[in-house]
Amino acid sequence: MATTAWADPPPLRARTDRYTRVAIVLHWVIAAAIIYNLTSGLLRDQLPRGFFALHISSGLTILILSVVRVVWKLMHKGLPFLPMAGWERWLARITHFLLYAAMLFVPWTGWVMISANPPAGSAGAAYAQAQSAQAATAAGKPAPVPRKPSLFWGLVEVPKIGPVADLGREPAGVAEQRAFHEQMEETHGTVAIMLLFLLVLHVGGALKHQFVDRQPELARMGIGRGRGGSG
């Protein structure tokens, strides 16, 4: 019995294939780290102090895994879009591009902030410490403890971006470096909010395709039945 063209369902392969296991693992690990970092960063003043402890390590992990994810994506053919309207396909492309850009840019600015401090043992570090002690004394507060190096998951010291750290190597550059640090801190927070918006848009689109359009969107990312794998 013949069927009309408009009644034909989408091709089975386009509906049921899933991404490769590597892509799925990277997706969910990066997603979990992003949720933690957005929460610990944007709500830092409202949450217990210890909740922020892994923020730097998690952020650098996001940066490293996002680079791996981009390379993997370039080396493997991605899945075709599920059946959707043209404007949805356009919006999905834009959202994915901006998501990847933010996933790289937000942790990179965090790394820049870590680097925007005078190198330990330098004349700039001694000058900055003396300035902080003087300001604390004037305010009737105890002198601040010298900054400890940031450790990556408590194992190795986070390397600093050389040109950024060298800005404050000498006392004359400390003020410029401090201003640059503040600028990066503001940029870091602003782009983090943009990342949050993109994440909400991405999740909302996935849920819409899954529950409204009745497409196996979640199966493509390892939740439910699907055949793998690509991308």
pLDDT single digits (tens) 220-231: 888 876 555 556
Q: How far is CA 195 from CA 6, 65, 87, 205, in A?
A: 38, 16, 21, 15
* Range 133-161 average pLDDT: 90
Q: What is the pLDDT of residue 54?
A: 97
Q: What is the pLDDT of residue 14?
A: 41
The structure tokens listed for 216 are 């196996």
* Range 134-140 average pLDDT: 87
pLDDT at 5 over 90: no
Q: What is the pLDDT of residue 2?
A: 45
pLDDT at 155 over 90: yes
Q: How far is CA 86 from CA 172, 205, 213, in A?
A: 56, 14, 14
Contacts of residue 215, defined as CB under 8 A and 6 or more positions apart, other chains included, come to 10, 15, 82, 83, 84, 209
pLDDT at 205 over 50: yes
CATH numbers and ranges of domains, the chain: 14-119+147-230 (1.20.950)
pTM of the model: 0.87
- Indicate the range of 5-19, 45-59, 184-198, 207-221 predicted with least confidence: 5-19
pLDDT at 29 over 60: yes
Q: What is the pLDDT of residue 156?
A: 97
Among residues of the chain, what percentage have pLDDT more than 90?
70
In contact, 118 and 124? CB cutoff 8 Å: yes
In contact, 86 and 133? CB cutoff 8 Å: no
What is the average pLDDT value for the chain, to the nearest integer? Answer: 89
Q: What is the pLDDT of residue 112?
A: 98
* Range 86-100 average pLDDT: 94
* Range 78-105 average pLDDT: 92
* Range 196-215 average pLDDT: 94
Q: What is the pLDDT of residue 11?
A: 45
